[in-house]
Amino acid sequence: MRWNVRWQKRARRAVSCRPFSWFFLIILHSPFFVPDSSAQPGIWRTHPSFLSAQTVAAVQDKIYCASENGFFYYDAGASEATRLSRDDGFSELGVSYLAYLTDQKRLLIAYRSGTIDLLSVTATGEPAGTSTITLIRDAAQISGSKRINHLGRVGNDAYLSCDFGIVVLDVARVEIRDTYRNIGPEGASAVVYATAFANDSIYAATSRGLLAARFDPAVNLAFFGNWKTVALPAGSSVRSVVGVSSRLFVAVPGEGVAERRGGRWTVVKAVPAITGLVQTATEWVATAPGLLQRESGGLVNNALVGAPRALVEAAGSFWVADSLSGLLRISGTAAEAVSPDGPASDAFQQLVAAGQPAQVLALPGGFSEDLKPLRRRRGFDQFRENRWQNFLTNSLPTDFVTAVFNPTDGRTYLGSFGGGLWQHQYQNPPEAVNRVLATISSLTVDPNGEVWLATPTLNVGQTSIHVRRKSGSFESFAPNRGDIQQLLLDDNGFLWTRLSASNGGGMQVFDPATNRSRLLYDQTGEGDLPDRNVRSLVKDRDGLIWIGTDNGIAVFDNPSAVFTGAVNAYRPVFERRRLLSGESVRALAVDGGNRKWIGTANGLYLFNEDGTALVEHFTSQNSPLPSNQINALAIEPAGGEVFVATPNGLVSYGGTSSEPTPVFSGISVFPNPVRPDFAGLVSIRGLVENTVVKVMDAGGQLVYETRSQGGTATWDLRDYRGRTAETGIYFVFAVTPDGREGVAGKLAVVR
């Protein structure tokens, strides 16, 4: 019968608790709490990169800056950065432009979606309340992108440069006054990157070239015929146009800054590597790699300046939003990076989590929401002790694609697509292990601490699976098919491999002990996969192999029999249909309670052990997920925190299940004490599997009872009647399923 192995194991876990003396427990076991730095259960954390800075604004004593998916302000006096998110009242992620309206004492925050937040600030520049304008975002007559790229202001009118045209916002009345669309030649649509005002005209840098119109109330700027094309120097960029004291300037690639005089362009400052122009209150500044050139003289020549996008002058310094280095503070010729810590990228193709000590490794890359490959960058990122560390040295490959943690030697092994095998331990610089096996697609580690790796090939008979023995020597194998994209080791020592979709897809199981290979496809008796395009593999806590395909989930419930006779995958049923049928399953992870986390193009799912009951379904609409497209998942085992990679950023969720401990060695109760403003779940961690947890009040009355999910139990601070826990001291008792061992602790609740 299917699932018989799993049901037997579940039955062993569910042994009823034997009678136990709670008073005796208190005497023999004093409370022992271990530190807990993971996210609180049910609480989301965002992990944006702050290095891709796009825009900056000076607000009183604070410098506000936004990267592609991050937002923060920097207090120059205190030298402290404060992160901002939707939890602080802001509408969404993806800030595209910032502008401080000095007379209004409000910060205009424009988003890629077209949404506008107007942030009121205190006398020292801290956030003090937000109002939102959604007319652009919700305009049904505007199709395509509604991104806001720039703001130019004349009086109370703010001219917003958008991907569809120009919107005029009355900042005093907070209302949209006008919209200019299709202003290109012959009424063509045009992306507007920026506007500038010089002499009696408004200029627009657009995807159709540099456009100009007479700036006069009598001129209808909504009519394309009133916009004329301005001839540009050969090869010049029109993404940036600047008007300073009624003078007009553009950047000319390969030459420098050009000014329009008498209908002609004249280069007024040579900057051969120029990438753009930005504007301060009094002058223009030309940008180039490693260089900022002021109109009034040299500003800085510093390698930390990578790709400047915007700058402001405040608090005696220049503040530069640099898309490679984050927010830079420039004083004289010295440059200093002041962004909050975070990963160096927003998109990752693989996440690897490990406990003892808790850490997560993130490899850049992945897929966009339309499944196009995202740009990779050099190195990788590590999250440890609640801080991110970036390993970005030039000696590292630009294409790490796979990693695995080896608990035997405490090292993380990384494979690159061209740079070979590397190893890394904590904060030490990564070291090359083997550069001969250059192209590695997947890594796994066996219980003996030996590292297995795949080097994909289409050549029949060529070795494509290798093992690095503990001695440091390598042994190679040649299974039937070598186009291996992922390796997974089962409890029998068999290697389950995901094969390239471009070469027919499917799966292959290889036994290195006997050199047997078994190919699995979508035919009955030969795997019966829901789809040949296999996207992800994972082994659960019962040893079952879960498969994510372009047509949902499949499970091999008897891996030991894969080489004997007919083999058919089982497809769990949820709500009378095959589990996630029709959905592309791109990521799978198993938590400490053997529950299944499943990442698709329609959000993140959490199912019970066998996939028959839905526990959670998170989307970008009901959670902080920045996208419904899930690229990778990893669960930090000690705390159960679930890390989720999307094309628009990395987030993590405080899970309610962690890896169980073999024996009790101390439990953590968090938060403790519970303060009046806390509205989440209390977590009890450090438990053995299926622990019985009881919460009692100071009078000895039972308040709550549950069993752990893996090594974690949670309490919603309500008693068995649904009443909120009152102020007081509560006792937490945890007992193994057989009743032979237990620990106790105290929890303070303040209301």
* pLDDT score for 99: 96
> 74 and 25 share a domain?
no
Q: CA–CA separation, 146 vs 187, rounded Å?
A: 18
Q: CA–CA separation, 305 vs 290, rounded Å?
A: 5
Determine if residue 386 is left, alpha or beta; phi over 0 gives left, psi from -120 to 50 gives alpha, anything else beta: left
**Residue 25 CB coordination number (10 Å):** 17
Burial of 666 (0-12, 13-18, 19+ CB in 10 A): middle
Domain that holds residue 91: 49-133+316-341
User: How far is CA 652 from its chain centroid?
Assistant: 8
Q: Which DSSP state fits 201?
A: E
First to last CA, the chain: 53
> 699 and 730 share a domain?
yes
Q: Is residue 247 within 8 Å of residue 257, measured between CB atoms?
A: no
The pLDDT of 175-198, averaged and rounded, is 95
Q: Which DSSP state fits 717?
A: S
Vertex 546, ends 545 and 550: CA angle to 5°? 140
Q: CA–CA separation, 65 vs 310, rounded Å?
A: 10
Q: CA–CA separation, 536 vs 396, rounded Å?
A: 27
Q: Given a cut of 80, is residue 442 above it in pLDDT?
A: yes
* pLDDT score for 111: 96
Number of H helices, E strands in the chain: 3, 66
> 666 and 744 share a domain?
yes
The pLDDT of 228-242, averaged and rounded, is 87
**Residue 188 CB coordination number (10 Å):** 12
Q: CA–CA separation, 509 vs 492, rounded Å?
A: 11
Q: CA–CA separation, 162 vs 180, rounded Å?
A: 10
> 685 and 704 share a domain?
yes
Q: Of the candidates 609, 723, 582, 747, which has an alpha carbon nearest to the alpha carbon of residue 671?
A: 747
- Residue 332 or residue 325, greater confidence: 325
The pLDDT of 94-103, averaged and rounded, is 95
Which positions ≥6 away from 255 have C-beta within 8 Å? Answer: 233, 267, 270, 271, 272, 274
> 739 and 666 share a domain?
yes
Q: CA–CA separation, 310 vs 322, rounded Å?
A: 7
* pLDDT score for 334: 87
> 106 and 38 share a domain?
no
Peptide bond before residue 253 is cis, with ω within 30 degrees of 0 = no
- At 21, give phi and psi (nearest 5°): -85, 105
Q: Given a cut of 50, is residue 10 above it in pLDDT?
A: no
Q: Given a cut of 80, is residue 668 above it in pLDDT?
A: yes
Residue 282 carries which side chain, given as an amino acid letter? T
Token pair of 549, please?
């395909």
Q: Which DSSP state fits 302?
A: -
> 63 and 99 share a domain?
yes
Residue 224 included in any domain: no
Instruction: Give this prediction's pTM.
Output: 0.86
- For the segment 592-646, what is each residue's pLDDT rounded down to a tens digit? 999 999 999 999 999 999 999 999 999 999 999 999 999 999 999 888 999 999 9
> 666 and 743 share a domain?
yes
- Residue 639 or residue 116, greater confidence: 116
Mean pLDDT over each residue of the chain, to the nearest integer = 89
pLDDT band at 467 (very low <50, low <70, confident <90, very high): very high
Q: Which DSSP state fits 372?
A: P
Query: Lowest mean pLDDT: which of 236-240, 312-316, 727-731?
Result: 236-240
Token pair of 489, please?
């080791």
CATH number at residue 705: 2.60.40.4070
Residue 87 included in any domain: yes
Residue 627 included in any domain: no
Residue 426 included in any domain: no
Length of the chain in residues, anyone? Answer: 751
- For the segment 512-550, what is each residue's pLDDT rounded down to a tens digit? 999 999 999 999 999 999 999 999 999 999 999 999 999
Which positions ≥6 away from 378 have C-beta within 8 Å? Answer: 392, 393, 394, 396, 397, 398
- For the segment 338-352, what is each residue's pLDDT rounded down to a tens digit? 999 999 989 899 999
> 73 and 92 share a domain?
yes
Q: What is the share, in percent, of the chain residues with pLDDT greater than 90?
A: 72
Token pair of 621, please?
């609409």
Residue 246 included in any domain: no
Residue 392 included in any domain: no
Residue 83 included in any domain: yes
Which residue bears the tokens 């810590």? Answer: 341
Burial of 659 (0-12, 13-18, 19+ CB in 10 A): buried
Number of domains observed in the structure of the chain: 2
pLDDT band at 279 (very low <50, low <70, confident <90, very high): confident
Neighbouring C-alpha atoms within 13 Å toward the C-beta of 393: 7
β pairing state of 247-252 and 326-331: unpaired
CA distances from 710 to 59, 409, 637, 714 (A): 48, 25, 10, 11
Q: Of the candidates 91, 87, 125, 93, which has an alpha carbon nearest to the alpha carbon of residue 106?
A: 125
Q: Given a cut of 70, is residue 257 above it in pLDDT?
A: yes
Residue 369 included in any domain: no
pLDDT band at 456 (very low <50, low <70, confident <90, very high): very high
Q: CA–CA separation, 685 vs 709, rounded Å?
A: 10
CATH number at residue 94: 2.40.10.480
Q: What is the arrangement of strands in the sheet containing 668-670, beginning at the earlier edge strand?
A: 668-670, 682-685, 712-715
pLDDT band at 375 (very low <50, low <70, confident <90, very high): low
Helix (H) or strand (E) holding 13: helix 4-13
Q: Of the candidates 545, 459, 451, which has an alpha carbon nearest to the alpha carbon of residue 498?
A: 545
